[in-house]
Structure 1
Amino acid sequence: MKFGINTYLFASPFTNEGVSWFPKFKEWGFDFVEIAIEDPANIDPVFVRKALDEAGLECRSVCAATGPGRDLRGNKKEQLTSIEYVEQLIDIAPVLGSKLVAGPIYSSVGRADLYDEEKKLRQWQTAVTNLRRLAAYAKENNVMLAIEPLNRYETDMVNTCEQALKMIADVGSDHLLVHLDSFHMNLEEKDPALAIRKAGNKLGLLHASGSDRGTPGGDQINWDRIFAALDHIHYQGDIVIESFTPDVKIIAKAASIWRTIEPSKEAIAVDGLHFLRSLAF
């Protein structure tokens, strides 16, 4: 099991300048960096990979940012835009040293509405059709995709692990996994530990965030049960701290971070990592 830090905690969008944080991440004890790529044009992946190597870090996952206009269930233009974007991430990931692209790639974040059952089914089928194409492209490039359930305020499509597993079954590709997040599970799952058990060998990534989007461990989540569930499924994958502060204005607005939750982003990273490692089996 390896522990990483998502770049959203320190920068949005991530650009080549963001590599200046890499030595600090290594100093704090992280094994890898999860790079959130909002616009592929913002980075030179060869340059970023060199900086990772020099810092003694890996990029084990690429985090997708599916904002407005990137929507696998949207209109034709939005579908095409989203497909092209995710395919670019699939191309970039191996250059960075990663074999995983993760996030809520099935729909644009923030699209949450009440649809009748017929329309919901059409949207689901559209997303599934497009995910088949992306999963096939990922397989060609030896990359895995992991879809992330979000809370009800950020999507009306996939809120739970069970829904994510159904989408994976409907797509029918062994290159599609589940990406679970402790913050979203705390809102949507009856039992987050049970959700992890349900995911089983389909769990491709776990995001660790406090119940208030702050430091893992300084919150109400039952982390002992989370790690017991991970042990039960023999999880050997990655855990990434993904928390936010008001310092990074773009992501703070997107994630509704209206107040200072923790003393600093450094404290979230250092204290969170120390806590998570203390529970690791």
Structure 2
Amino acid sequence: MKTAITLCQVPEAASGPFVLRTHLPEAFATAAALGFDAVELFLPGPDFVSVDEVKSLAEKHDLSIAAIGTGAGWLRHGLSITDPSAEKRGAALEFILSMIHFGGQLGAPAILGSMQGKKVDDESMDHFLSGLHACSQAAAAHVVPFVYEPLNRYETNLFNRLSDAALFIETNDLKNVLLLADLFHMSIEESDIAAALSDAGRHIGHVHFADSNRQAMGFGHTNAAAVISALREIGYPGYLSAEILPLPDPETAARQTISIIRELSAS
């Protein structure tokens, strides 16, 4: 499994679970110096930086782009694909598709997290499914998957558990949609995180490697060894991405993440 660290450029996410927040050149250099394989980008939008500049920074520091977040659409504009307003749903989808195109040029999948919104009426699930289909098709055109993240009950009432989201994907034939297993959200919703990972199996396309308190793994009470064992059993080939609070400070959080992944990988 490969390592990644979150790199945030969205001012509205100042209190969010993102480790590196400095300007892009410095953040890329820091990620490389700390020993990560890739960065996960959380950007204000697709026009914040050119694809060529990101490619140049990635090549300079021998880093891959693990994934592209879309949450700025919610944080900055209050957009979601389940909004009762057709106009706002359209704007949300347009934003997500633009991020899919941005990430696709980098060979990276886009993530649907907070922009999924919530179920507010009988039509919400239809809007959600329609949005997923459109995003799946757009990602497929770039030969990358689209990644959907179940969130905890305090953030959405759509899907909170991996098994329910996996069943929805299968039932609706969403072949190019994979799941993001965020261990922080799972610590709230799953009775057994390792078992949930094993059951979701082939549907898992990305992992947010966070402890139960959303700090670096090892600073809470999640059984990291069981998580790694489950991911090995299902043959997960992707990233363990540190989407975590930068506590007690960004460097300590980053070094703790790398340290525990290396420790568990060697055992």
Cα distance in 2 between the residues matched to 1:19 and 1:164:
37
* AA matched with 1:266: E
The aligned counterpart of 2:111 is 102
Distance 1:155 1:185, change over 3 A: same
Alpha-carbon shift at residue 60 of structure 1 (Å): 2.2
Choose from 80, 93, 110 the match for 1:83.
Answer: 93
Change (3 A) 1:78 1:171: farther
Cα distance between partner residues in 1 of 2:174 and 2:80: 20
Deviations 1:231-275 (A, max 9, x none): 111111111001124xxxxxxxxxxxxxxxx32111000111111
Matched with 2:141 is 140
User: Does 2:64 match 1:58?
Assistant: yes
Worse overlay, 163-172 or 142-151 = 163-172
Q: In 2, Cα distance between the equivalents of 1:273 and 1:63? A: 21
Is the CA contact (8 Å cut-off) linking 1:106 and 1:131 kept in structure 2? Answer: no
| 8 Å CA contact 2:46, 2:99 repeated in 1 | yes
String of CA shifts for 1:34-62, please: whole Å, max 9, x gaps: 11123222222211211111111111211
1:15–1:266 CA distance, 2 compared to 1 (3 A): closer
Structure 1 residue 106, shift from structure 2 partner? 5.9
Contact in 2 for aligned 1:99/1:142 (Cα 8 Å): no
Give the conservation status (yes or no) of the 8 Å contact 1:16–1:44. Answer: no
Say if 2:236 is the partner of 1:235. yes
Cα deviations across residues 140-180 of structure 1 (Å, max 9, x unaligned)?
22121110011111111111102211331244122100101
* Distance in 1, Cα, partners of 2:4 & 2:216: 14
* Map 1:19-34 → 2, pairs under 5 A: 19-34=25-40
Amino acid at match of 2:80: D
**Which of 47, 52, 71 in structure 1 is aligned with 2:53?**
47
SS at match of 1:70: coil
Q: TM-score, normalised by structure 2?
A: 0.88
Conservation of the 8 A alpha-carbon contact between 1:69 and 1:81: no
Is it true that 1:71 corresponds to 2:80 in the alignment? yes
* Structure 1: unaligned runs, 5 residues or longer: 246-261
Note the residue ranges of structure 2 that are not aligned, 5 or more in a row. 12-19
1:120-135 alignment, distance < 5 Å: 120=122, 122-135=123-136
Question: Cα RMSD between the aligned structures?
Answer: 2.1
**In 2, Cα distance between equivalents of 1:180 and 1:19:** 29
Letter in 2 for 1:71: S
Match of 2:203 in 1: 202
Aligned length: 254
Listed as ranges, the matches of 1:237-252 within 5 Å are: 237-245=238-246
Which string of whole-angstrom CA distances, capped at 9 and with x for unpartnered residues, describes residues 167-205 of structure 1? Answer: 312441221001010100000111111110121111100
Kindly indicate whether the alpha-carbon contact (under 8 Å) linking 1:131 and 1:171 is maintained by their aligned counterparts in 2: no
Asked if structure 1 preserves the Cα contact closer than 8 Å seen for 2:107 and 2:142, the reply is: no
> Is 1:152 matched up with 2:153?
yes
- The yes-or-no answer on 1:3 pairing with 2:10 is no
